[in-house]
Amino acid sequence: MNKRRNLLLVVGGIIAIIIIAIVVSREQSNQLAVQVQTVKIGHFQITLPETGFVQHPQVETIPALISGNLSGLYVQAGDEVSAGELLATIYNIQITTNASGSAASYQAAVAGIQQAQSVQQNTAVNASAQVATALSNLDEAQRTYRANLNLYNNKAISRDTLDQAKAKLDQDQVAYDQAVKQQRLNAISLGGQSSVAVAQAQAQKSASDAALAQTQASQTRVVAPFAGQIQTVTAQASDPTRPMQVGDAVTQGQTLFTIAGNGGFIVRTQVDEQDISQVRVGQRAVVSGEDFNGASFPGHVSTIAPTAQKSTDTSSTTRQVLTTIALDSNSSLLKDGLTADVDIITTDIANTVTVPNSAIVTTDGKKYVWVVRDRQLHKVPVQTGPSNDTVTVVRSGVNTGDSVTSAPLPVFSEGMYVSPVH
């Protein structure tokens, strides 16, 4: 009897287990399948996408500083040159003649100063000698007159002899006064073409003319202002398809060459006025484009223009700010003038928790995510941070390893059983 009862209990237990398994299986087969993602620690970024143009950082046109004919052409487009290297020479006969003539005029003016100084010195010496001679004659006349006056008072000579001595004294006095006056006139009179002052003025003008002529003569040599690569050599004015050649006429101010400095590349882009507040000098950026065979180039924001300007898009009223990205490396793929895509990294957070934007639901102004634990849904409040186009930073509420639904549905409820799909 007991054995039969035990057997019935065992059979009943087995039947109950089978029934429970069938019920559970039916429930699981009816559970809603939901897409879930596992929360992980990652790198979060917000980028500002723009379009720009690849350029050399230092580009300058080199003009002809004088008119004339090209007498030498020593470079072509693509050549690497050093600072001060001779690129071309220009022949102008008038400038060459002026340089030679002005140098000769200056030398002649310097000689004129020396001659004027010599004449002035000789004049001064002669005047001093005449004064000394006149003074000596005057002293002798005074001595003779005093001696004759003493003899006349002693009745040793006649009145005529005394008068003759007096006349000689007066004559020598006049001669001395005239010599002194002439000496003074010579000292203060510097006029005339042979004077030192005029000669010095002429020399100064000649020096100025010579300096100008030498400057113009130096401008017949066209040199590189800095080390770099020759980008373009100008074409003939009459035939844009024919490069400039020796013998061609050039005019003052005409562009002869374009040179780019050896400093890698930059990308210039225009940032809309509503976005520029997010951009800072030093922020990292990534440059890519269809012309770069899938390659991308790291860089950083080097300069931001102080003023906004009208958009290059004529249909837009938005103003834009010129922003320059300096590339951190060089590549043969980079060419001056290529179009490039620029992503400026305005926010960069390492080692942070993120969830898909679509995972976040808002109820009564509060944000939640649905977390799946043991096939059951749980509505978890979260505190969020910045968002980009795909994910949002979660500061609290979920942990790494949690499974969150990436596409919550209106039918979700607390504790609801679901079938998670990873």
Query: pLDDT by residue (tens digit) across 393-421?
Result: 999 999 999 999 999 999 999 999 999 99
How do residues 48-58 score in pLDDT, each as one tens digit?
Answer: 999 999 998 88
Extents of the domains making up the chain: 29-45+350-421, 59-92+220-261, 95-214
CATH class name, domain 59-92+220-261: mainly beta
The 3-state DSSP class for residue 177 equals: helix
Give the pTM: 0.59
Domain 29-45+350-421 indexed as CATH 2.40.420.20: yes
pLDDT value of residue 192: 47
In angstroms, the CA 359 to CA 351 distance is 20
pLDDT value of residue 282: 95
First to last CA, the chain: 55
In angstroms, the CA 53 to CA 370 distance is 45
How do residues 5-49 score in pLDDT, each as one tens digit?
Answer: 566 665 556 665 555 444 444 444 468 999 999 999 999 999 999
Please state whether beta strands 418-421 and 32-38 pair in parallel, antiparallel, or not at all (unpaired): parallel
The beta strands (E) that lie in 200-254 are given as: 221-223, 228-233, 249-250
In angstroms, the CA 413 to CA 406 distance is 15
Give the mean model confidence (pLDDT) for residues 117-146: 81
The one-letter amino acid code at 405 reads T
pLDDT at residue 99 tops 70: no
